[in-house]
Amino acid sequence: MKVVFLAPNYPPEMQQYTRGLAEVGATVYGVGDAPVGSLPGSLKQHLSDYLQVPRILDEEDVVARVHAWLRGREVDRVLANWEVLVLTAAKLRERFGLPGMSVDTVEGFRDKKLMKERVAAAGLRTPQAERVRTEREVRAAVERIGYPICLKPIAGAGSADTYRLDGPDDLERVLPKMRHVPEASCEEFIVAEEFTFDTVCIEGRPAYTNITQYLPPPLIARSEQWVSPVIITVKDMTQPKLAAGIELGHGVLKALNMGSGFTHMEWFRKADGEVVFGEIGCRPGGAHIVDQMNYTSDIDLFREWARVVCHGRFEAPTTRKYNAAIIFKRAKGEGRITRVEGLTEFMRRYGEHVVEQKLLPVGAHRRDWKQTLLSDGHILLRHPDWDTAKRLAEIVATDVHLYAGG
């Protein structure tokens, strides 16, 4: 099995998928814009060849260069797990006549307006939404849909450049911030609990399924610096409150003609029990969600994804053992981390439940919380009881603090 894998080095978790491919017997040809000399040895050992391109996000150039590079060589798969490259991978598959999701199918996962149209056509509940390109179109869409409104990029990922508008003042404040976005979706804002529906699919059929809950919803977490975002996987997916969301997720996979690989969907559960589709990507969730799923079931989904896309099999157990919670921390102040408070006490009392502690050390420069959900590091813990896992996550969120200065 010979596989072209786009961006094997970045984002950093892509190195784990490269490892997974090699471990299931694939010959991996990597394509990225990092110089080969800068690739870590732990990655190089899993690559059989590597093509450096000038700009990995220049789709036309990458397609042309990869086509020339592989001329005369046999290739079985072209894969990408980074949101911005899934369409490039589809175009390469079509160029080489390889199996996998088509450009049209992948566009249904990338273009949020097209995505919602296809999901709605299947009779599934989606927010009212309109595609907008100019300020005039935004104003007209707001007039038709009504407040509150969610304004976000058509081809975005995560909650970047995503805003809630509750009235005309918010509209005037946000419009200048969106001028760099070529296309946006102006849609009904859903007030509800927010969950994910994550899968590893074999030809559209989930071989592994996961649900996580966002606390608070991502738009709030990305708007308020003082918030410590929490994401918790749900051990017990048989509980009645999740049934409609799981049914919705299966319906969305069918409506969008999902093939093989990861999916990451976000959905809402309103106070009256109604479930509403948010959006979906044909790639793994970010912010260490795959790590959380691994800790939930004590498996290696980096390897199992590779087994699925290469051999059409999923061999790991799917038993869910824990609720796994990740808590992202944001330092108070600017500059370098000067001290961490509350961590020692938390680890003394609850350290047995912590599986990762990756807060930035004293002396490290704090990150721009608006640019990365990962913020200034995280603590990842797990517990078989949901209420306990949630309580421990809340303690980290409220009692552990990082401070920066200078």
> Per the domain annotation, does 119 fall within a domain?
no
Q: What confidence score (pLDDT) does residue 28 get? A: 98
pLDDT digits (tens, 9 = 90+) for 65-117: 999 999 889 999 999 999 999 999 999 999 999 999 999 999 999 998 899 99
Helix H or strand E segment including 41 = helix 41-44
Q: First and final CA of the chain: distance in angstroms?
A: 53
Provide the percentage of residues in the chain whose pLDDT is more than 70: 99
Dihedral of CA atoms 288, 293, 294, 298 in degrees, nearest 10, equals 150
Give me 269's structure tokens: 């559960």
Tell me, yes or no, whether 133 and 40 share the same domain.
no
Q: How confident is the model at residue 138 (pLDDT cuts 50, 70, 90)?
A: very high
The reported pTM is 0.91
159 pLDDT above the threshold of 90 = no
324 pLDDT above the threshold of 90 = yes
- The Cα–Cα gap between 83 and 92 comes to 15
Q: What confidence score (pLDDT) does residue 158 get? A: 56
Domain boundary (188, 205, 224) is at 188
CATH code for the domain of 165: 3.30.1490.20
86 exposed, middle or buried (CB, 10 Å; 0-12, 13-18, 19+)? buried
**Nearest Cα residue to 341 out of 355, 368, 362:** 362
Give φ, ψ of 280 to 5 degrees: -150, 150
Mean pLDDT of 132-148: 92
- Furthest CA-CA distance within the chain: 61
CATH code for the domain of 204: 3.30.470.20
Sequence-distant (≥ 6) Cβ neighbours of residue 400 within 8 angstroms: 327, 329, 340, 341, 342, 343, 346, 359, 379
Mean pLDDT of 320-328: 98
Could you tell me the residue range of the domain that residue 399 belongs to? 193-405
With tokens 């509980």, the residue in question is 239
Q: Which DSSP letter does residue 189 get?
A: P
Tell me, yes or no, whether 288 and 234 share the same domain.
yes
> Per the domain annotation, does 107 fall within a domain?
no
**Nearest Cα residue to 253 out of 318, 209, 308, 285:** 209
- The Cα–Cα gap between 282 and 89 comes to 12
CATH code for the domain of 45: 3.40.50.20
55-64 long-range contacts, Cβ below 8 Å, gap at least 24?
Answer: 56/6, 56/7, 56/31, 56/32, 56/85, 57/84, 57/85, 59/87, 59/88, 59/91, 62/6, 62/31, 62/88, 63/88, 63/91, 63/92, 63/95
- The Cα–Cα gap between 43 and 38 comes to 10
Q: Which DSSP letter does residue 360 get?
A: P
Tell me, yes or no, whether 75 and 93 share the same domain.
yes
Sequence-distant (≥ 6) Cβ neighbours of residue 141 within 8 angstroms: 130, 132, 149, 186
Tell me, yes or no, whether 277 and 388 share the same domain.
yes
> Per the domain annotation, does 342 fall within a domain?
yes
pLDDT digits (tens, 9 = 90+) for 294-317: 999 999 999 999 999 999 999 999
Domain count for the chain, please give it. 3
Tell me, yes or no, whether 351 and 206 share the same domain.
yes
Count CB atoms within 10 A of the CB of residue 109.
Answer: 27
On the question of a cis peptide bond just before residue 216, with omega within 30 degrees of 0, the verdict is: yes
Tell me, yes or no, whether 160 and 213 share the same domain.
no
pLDDT digits (tens, 9 = 90+) for 243-269: 999 999 999 999 999 999 999 999 999
Tell me, yes or no, whether 151 and 43 share the same domain.
no
Tell me, yes or no, whether 157 and 208 share the same domain.
no
Q: Which DSSP letter does residue 332 get?
A: B
306: region left, alpha or beta (phi > 0 left; psi from -120 to 50 alpha): alpha
Tell me, yes or no, whether 235 and 173 share the same domain.
no
Tell me, yes or no, whether 284 and 375 share the same domain.
yes
Tell me, yes or no, whether 144 and 220 share the same domain.
no
Q: Which DSSP letter does residue 296 get?
A: H
- The Cα–Cα gap between 162 and 128 comes to 16
Helix H or strand E segment including 108 = helix 103-110
Q: What confidence score (pLDDT) does residue 157 get? A: 61
> Per the domain annotation, does 109 fall within a domain?
no
Tell me, yes or no, whether 184 and 197 share the same domain.
no
- The Cα–Cα gap between 229 and 221 comes to 6
Rg of the chain in Å (alpha carbons):
21
